[in-house]
Chains A and B, each alone.
Chain A
Amino acid sequence: AKLPSIALLSYAELVPEPLGLILVISSWNFPMGLSLEPLIGAIAAGNAVVIKPSELAPASSSLLANALPNYLDTQAIKVIEGGPAVGQQLLHHKWDKIFFTGSTKVGRIIMSEAAKNLTPVTLELGGKCPAILDSLSWSWEKEVVAINRIIGAKYGSCAGQACISIDYLFVEKPFSSTVVELMKAMIKKMYGDNPRESHSISRIINKHHFLRLKDLLIDQKVKDCIVYGGSMDEDSLFIEPTILVDPPLESAMMTEEIFGPLLPIITLDKIEDSIDFINSRPKPLALYAFTKNEVLKERLVSETSSGSVVFNDAIIQFAADTLPFGGIGESGIGKYHGKFSFDTFTHYKAVARRSLLTDFWYRFPPWNNYKLELLENTYNYDYFGLLLVILGLKRSRKTFHVN
Chain B
Amino acid sequence: MISSPDLVAFTKETDFSEIVKDPSVLPEELSVPLYPYTGDTTPWSKTSGANFTKDFILLSEFSEQVGPQPLLTVPPETKACGTFDLNHFSLRIMSVDYQTSLTGPAGCGSLKLNFVEDSKVVLGDSREGAFAYVHHLTLYDLEARGFVRPLCLAYVSSDENKIIQQFQQLSAEFSKVSECLKTGNRKNFANELEIKLRDLEHTRVVLLREIEREVNNASVMCTNERERMLNGIPTLDVKLKEKSLSHRDEVKLQEKGRCEISRKAEVECEKGNRSCITYDRDEQFGGRRKNKQDKGSCPTPLADKGDELASVEKSIQEFKSLLKQVTCYRTRKLRDSEYSPYEPDDLPHSFEFDLDDLRHGQLAGPVLECNVFPCTDTPLHSLKPINSISSCRFDKRLKTLEELCDDYFHQQALQQLNSIERTFRGDTCHLYSQQLCRNLLRNLKSTNFLFEDPCDLEEEVGLQIGIAGQHSVRQPSFLPAPSILSEPVSLESYVSCVEMVPIKLELGGSSQSTAVPSYVNTPAEDNRPLTSSVVETEMENGCVVSASDCQENVEMCVSALMKTSISSGDSIEVLGTEKSFRSQGSNILMDTALQRPPPLSTTAVLEGLRQGRVTTIRTCSEDSIEVLCTTESILPEDLRASYSCAIDEESPEQETDEKDISHNQEDKQVECVYGVGNKVPGDHGGACMEDPQDFYPAVTLTPPDCPMTLTLGRSSSQDACHASELIPLSLLDEPCRIVPDDLSDCFSYRSTTASTTSECTFPTCLPKNKREGGTRRRRGRVGRAALQFLQQFPFAVHAVFSLLCGRTLVVLGSEEAAVRRLVTALSVYMPHLSRYRDGIQPWTSTPLQLTDLLNWKLIGFNRMCCFTYINMPHCLGHYSRYLSILDVDQKTLRCPVYSGTLLNPLVEPRSHFKRGNTYFMFAQSVQSKLVTTAFLLTFSHGFHTPRRPWESTWTQCFHSEIHRDDKKILNYLSELIKLHFMEVPPNVLRFSYTTNSIFKL
Do A and B share a complex? no
> A-side interface residues toward B, CB under 8 Å?
none
* Residues of B near any A CB (own CB < 8 A): none
